[in-house]
Structure 1
Amino acid sequence: MTTHGPTRRTVLLATGAAAFTVGCGEYGNEGDGDSGSNTVEASAGQELAKTGEIPVGGGKIFKDEKVVVTQPKEDEFKAFTSICTHQQCPVANVDGGTINCTCHGSKFSITDGSVQNPPAPRPLAEKKITVQDDSIRLA
């Protein structure tokens, strides 16, 4: 028997690859109107925020710079990569003392980036920052 089209396996593989690309590649861009900004890398000395913009017990995600800055305790600031260690989705929010990736439910500590809820296999990598006066900058 001779087939004249793609095999079932080829169709399944192509469909899965397309779904993965669309599902994870664009996650987190809803409503920002600037899909090209995700390629910008953060640079040393760049100001991320004023200290008053980071809530105590919470944090703020800087999508373009791929950084999340947290304030676990008053006047204690931490920074981590905002890319989940599970499947490299961008984290979605900081809430309830954790940095949360809504792709698959991973949660990370705002204090040290450690995994609080899998499936993430590793903590978020720490980023170096400096805090001077009321300015938080990448180191």
Structure 2
Amino acid sequence: MPGRPAPSRRTVLRSAALTSVAGLGAAACSPGEDGAAPARPTAPVDLGADGEMAKGTTRLDRDHHVVVSRADDGSLKAFSTVCTHAGCPIRKLEGTKLVCPCHGSEFDARTGEVLHAPATVPLVELPVQVKQGRIVAGTGA
């Protein structure tokens, strides 16, 4: 604008840096991510020997972002442990409750259901079965 001094190089650089940092924060928590398909295992994940998982137990595989549980009737369920709120990997299992480290969302590891917001969408269920005595979950299971 005429009559207005040009911003200093320092002001321009500082503004650019703050805009970049703000953009990263917004991307991590942007609205509308609920319902977006979170990452899923792209190959079958071996979750251990079938005989080592008792009825009524839950097991978290932190490396592959999968949780598996065996109901009292012996059936298995598995879920992706990528939070449906902002895509953070969940690495904490307290009994049968999964706790997201990013914003505190909580999920039931046996059903994938949301127990505590900000997440509003359940965890993505994964196919799971026993193959050759091993519990296998994920795409292609």
Per the normalisation by structure 1, the TM-score is: 0.68
Q: Which has the higher contact order (CA 8 A, sep 6+)?
A: 2
Partner of 2:33: none
Partner of 1:120: 119
Change (3 A) 1:98 1:125: same
Partner of 2:58: 58
- SS of the residue aligned with 1:108? strand
- The alpha-carbon deviation at position 61 of structure 1 amounts to 2.2
Distance in 2 of aligned mates of 1:54 and 1:104: 31
Superposed CA offset, 1:13-49 (max 9, x none):
123345678x99xxxxxxxxxxxxxx994414x5222
- The alpha-carbon deviation at position 56 of structure 1 amounts to 3.5
Change (3 A) 1:68 1:20: farther
Question: Root-mean-square deviation (CA), in Å?
Answer: 3.2
Listed as ranges, the gaps of 5+ residues in structure 2 are 30-38
Change (3 A) 1:118 1:40: closer
Partner of 2:20: 14
Distance in 1 of aligned mates of 2:84 and 2:24: 22
Listed as ranges, the gaps of 5+ residues in structure 1 are 25-38
- SS of the residue aligned with 2:86? coil
Per the normalisation by structure 2, the TM-score is: 0.68
Partner of 2:32: none
Distance in 1 of aligned mates of 2:76 and 2:59: 9
- SS of the residue aligned with 2:16? helix
- The alignment of Structure 1 onto Structure 2 pairs a total of residues equal to 122
